[in-house]
Chains A and B, each alone.
Chain A
Amino acid sequence: MSHLSPERRQRCERLIALYPEKRSALIPLCHIAQEQDGYLSEPAMVEIAAMVGVTPAEVQGTATFYDMLHTEPVGTYVVGVCTNIACLLAGGDELLAHAEGALGVRAGGTTEDGVFTLEETECLADCDIAPCVQVNHRYVRTTTPEALDGLLAELRAGDRADEIPTHGTLIRVERTTGLTTDPEAIAAERAAKREEAGA
């Protein structure tokens, strides 16, 4: 019995087929598993391991290297506040402290109702609208405590669900075709081209 839903399982299979080596799909697959469970659950890791041909320990060992892959449950909304240099100069520390107060958790923590996880992040590459805040990796551009409060209230009320989907950075990424070229045919074609150029 598959832990991932049939639809997700299919997306995983299609992704795997895009790479010369299966293991390359490991991280994309972890993102897809997080869509379903919110985090990288054990059964998901076991299933991913089988799909890409590594051991579950290798999936876990790889995943723990990356900040976006959570091996423990997180809230429905992961709120990231950047405090790196450009955001620091714009009051990123204060905004993070405000978020801690508003949510009643320290950075890294999850609210008791499981709605929010708060994270202090490194630079999110949006430094001109500082301090930068992301929710589930969507830029929300709430640079003041008031704007952040408003956003948190809207999220709680479910008003931003369209714009900010739940977990998974790939949840709205859909590739319309598989590979259209056959690797062996490509290799032969490139070899011929080189010969032609060399001749």
Chain B
Amino acid sequence: MSLTDAPRIVTARTGFDDSYTIDRFLATGGFDGLRKALTMTPAEVCEQVDAASLLGRGGAGFPAGRKWSMLRKSDVSYLVINGDESEPATFKDHLLVEGDPHQLVEGVVIASYALQVSQAFIFLRGEFALGLERVQTAVNNAYAAGALGQNIFGSGFSLDIVVHPGAGAYICGEETSLLESLEGKRGFPRIKPPFFPAAIGLYGEPTVVNNVETVSNLPWIVLNGGAAFAALGEGRSTGTRLFALSGHVRNPGVYELEMVKHSFRDLIFSPTLGGGVPSGTGVKAVIPGGVSAPWFYEEHLDLPLGQDEVAEAGSMLGSGSIVVMDETTCMVKAAWRITRFFSRESCGQCTPCREGSGWLERILFRLENGQGRREDLDLLLDLCDNIAPGLAWPPQQTTICVLGPSIPSSIHSSISRFRDEYLQHVTEGRCPHA
């Protein structure tokens, strides 16, 4: 296969050793997008983002332009950037916050101008110690360069950005939980409706929450026009996207690829990308889009990396992370570890999620350790059905947030496909892979 010659939009600088410095940034078109945006009206900037069909890169894939148009008009409103990045196997925002923090800040100022918000916050997971340093330095540099603060570049537009640390909680990636955390509280997701913080958000004021990668696209979109962005990719999946590839591949890493134009197989096997499976065995399963997503198998590998294409095949592109598991992988152990993650990270507000995740985890644990029973398989599926009725995809919402209904994905996937492997754990009284 050949890679398309699409430009690198968000990782143009990350190949340089000094990509995070203001010098490199300014030498490579830094703030050009912002300068141009400030010559446009806020509405014109919004039109370009709408024309780009920029889908949110945080997980849900909601069009940024649409989200922006929903922001309730108010004298006080906020923009909050989601840099919590805690979905297992997702590590693309990590690259952007450490590798090109000025681009992020430029994107935040552009979005703030377009939305006319009164203040912006960049929420970064607390474990990004270096990322926090780099983004704060980029914010400091932006103030010094006149790109932030009073009367930005003489435009009359003024803005402050505050960099805010999380403190270790996956659930704070859920946008309403993130807002609670930013208000100095436990990260309990808020009850919906309202479904969007655009109506009632931070401190009860209208708020747009966007992902780090989403806003990092804005300097390019403003400079090159929404149409140029929309010309890349296909259908609703436009532009490029960061794919975080991990697990059993020769070259794990973050790859920026034109949307839809490459398949899972390209990403995993191309010598310039994943480089194939090192053990030489086949691909047993692939988790597309984060551990909340149903799994894919060999027969899905030719699917294009596009949001709707993956959704139609019964899963989701989600956070753009792809985990490859080769033939040597124990599917029970994989499902158990993912479930244990959910069980640990459930915030505890909803019974199906809090209790269900713990029960599921304990049953999977005994199965993995050879102490399971045949009936456990049906018990697992029954419990999953209680959390996500009908085990449909996308799941029915039975809880306050989407974490709960995401728990069944790995269990339902692995039992449906690898029932024999589960039963082997029971009949042999041990993990056949151990």
Closest chain B residue to A176, Cβ basis: B140
Determine whether the beta carbon of B184 is less than 8 Å from that of A23. yes
Q: Which of B323, B337, B345: most chain A CB closer than 10 A?
A: B337
Determine whether the beta carbon of A31 is less than 8 Å from that of B165. yes
B203 on interface, CB distance cutoff 8 Å: yes
Closest chain A residue to B89, Cβ basis: A86
Closest chain B residue to A48, Cβ basis: B184
Bound Cα distance A176, B163 (Å) = 12
Set of chain B residues within 8 Å of A90, measured between Cβ atoms: 247
Determine whether the beta carbon of B118 is less than 8 Å from that of A183. yes
Q: How large is the interface on A (under 10, 10 to 19, 20 to 34, 35 or more residues)?
A: 35 or more
Determine whether the beta carbon of B130 is less than 8 Å from that of A138. yes
Determine whether the beta carbon of B89 is less than 8 Å from that of A27. no
Set of chain B residues within 8 Å of A30, measured between Cβ atoms: 167
Bound Cα distance A42, B90 (Å) = 36
Closest chain B residue to A175, Cβ basis: B136
B106 on interface, CB distance cutoff 8 Å: no
Q: How far is the CB of B290 from chain A (nearest CB, A)?
A: 10
> Are A174 and B246 also in contact (CB < 8 A) when A86-B89, A128-B253, A169-B127 are?
no
> Are A24 and B182 also in contact (CB < 8 A) when A130-B252, A180-B160, A193-B42 are?
yes
B263 on interface, CB distance cutoff 8 Å: no
Contact of B126 among A130, A169, A179, A190 (CB under 8 A): A169
Determine whether the beta carbon of B182 is less than 8 Å from that of A85. no
Determine whether the beta carbon of A85 is less than 8 Å from that of B127. no
B34 on interface, CB distance cutoff 8 Å: no
Stretch at the interface among A63-71, A98-106, A144-152: A63-71
Q: How far is the CB of A12 from chain B (nearest CB, A)?
A: 13
A56 on interface, CB distance cutoff 8 Å: no
Residues of B239-276 at the interface with A, using a CB-CB cut-off of 8 Å, are 244-248, 252-254
B116 on interface, CB distance cutoff 8 Å: yes
Determine whether the beta carbon of A169 is less than 8 Å from that of B132. yes
Q: How far is the CB of A14 from chain B (nearest CB, A)?
A: 11
Set of chain B residues within 8 Å of A109, measured between Cβ atoms: none
Q: How far is the CB of B286 from chain A (nearest CB, A)?
A: 12
Contact of A175 among B41, B139, B149 (CB under 8 A): B139
Bound Cα distance A65, B166 (Å) = 11
Determine whether the beta carbon of A122 is less than 8 Å from that of B143. no
Residues of B73-92 at the interface with A, using a CB-CB cut-off of 8 Å, are 73, 75-77, 85-91
Set of chain A residues within 8 Å of B344, measured between Cβ atoms: 122
Determine whether the beta carbon of A127 is less than 8 Å from that of B183. no
Q: How far is the CB of A156 from chain B (nearest CB, A)?
A: 21
Contact of B337 among A19, A68, A83 (CB under 8 A): A83
Contact of A21 among B41, B168, B183 (CB under 8 A): B183
A191 on interface, CB distance cutoff 8 Å: yes
> Are A28 and B165 also in contact (CB < 8 A) when A21-B203, A84-B89, A128-B244 are?
yes
Set of chain B residues within 8 Å of A26, measured between Cβ atoms: 184-185
> Are A176 and B88 also in contact (CB < 8 A) when A19-B162, A181-B158 are?
no
Q: How many CB-defined contacts (below 8 Å) exist between A and B?
A: 205
Determine whether the beta carbon of B323 is less than 8 Å from that of A174. no
Closest chain B residue to A23, Cβ basis: B184
Bound Cα distance A183, B245 (Å) = 43
Residues of B55-101 at the interface with A, using a CB-CB cut-off of 8 Å, are 73, 75-77, 85-91, 93-94
Q: How far is the CB of A74 from chain B (nearest CB, A)?
A: 13
Determine whether the beta carbon of B159 is less than 8 Å from that of A31. no
> Are A123 and B90 also in contact (CB < 8 A) when A62-B184, A176-B140, A181-B150 are?
yes
Set of chain B residues within 8 Å of A179, measured between Cβ atoms: 160
Closest chain B residue to A27, Cβ basis: B167
Contact of A25 among B73, B143, B184 (CB under 8 A): B184
A189 on interface, CB distance cutoff 8 Å: yes
B192 on interface, CB distance cutoff 8 Å: no
B198 on interface, CB distance cutoff 8 Å: no
Contact of B143 among A20, A84, A170, A180 (CB under 8 A): A180
Bound Cα distance A175, B252 (Å) = 35
Set of chain A residues within 8 Å of B425, measured between Cβ atoms: none
Bound Cα distance A18, B136 (Å) = 13
Contact of B247 among A18, A85, A122, A124 (CB under 8 A): A85
> Are A20 and B247 also in contact (CB < 8 A) when A84-B337, A85-B337 are?
no
Set of chain B residues within 8 Å of A128, measured between Cβ atoms: 91, 244-246, 252-254
What are 28 residue pairs bridging A and B, where the CB atoms are less than 8 Å apart in the complex? A28-B164, A30-B167, A31-B165, A31-B167, A61-B186, A65-B187, A66-B168, A66-B169, A66-B187, A69-B168, A84-B337, A86-B89, A86-B247, A86-B323, A89-B329, A125-B90, A125-B93, A130-B252, A169-B127, A173-B163, A175-B139, A181-B160, A183-B118, A187-B76, A190-B77, A190-B116, A190-B117, A190-B118
Given A122-B88, A186-B118, A187-B75, 6 more pairs with CB closer than 8 A: A24-B164, A31-B167, A69-B168, A137-B128, A169-B132, A187-B76
Interface positions of B (Cβ within 8 A of A): 41-43, 73, 75-77, 85-91, 93-94, 116-119, 125-130, 132-133, 136, 139-140, 143-144, 148-150, 158-160, 162-170, 181-187, 203, 244-248, 252-254, 287, 291, 321, 323, 325, 329, 333-334, 337-338, 341, 344-345, 347
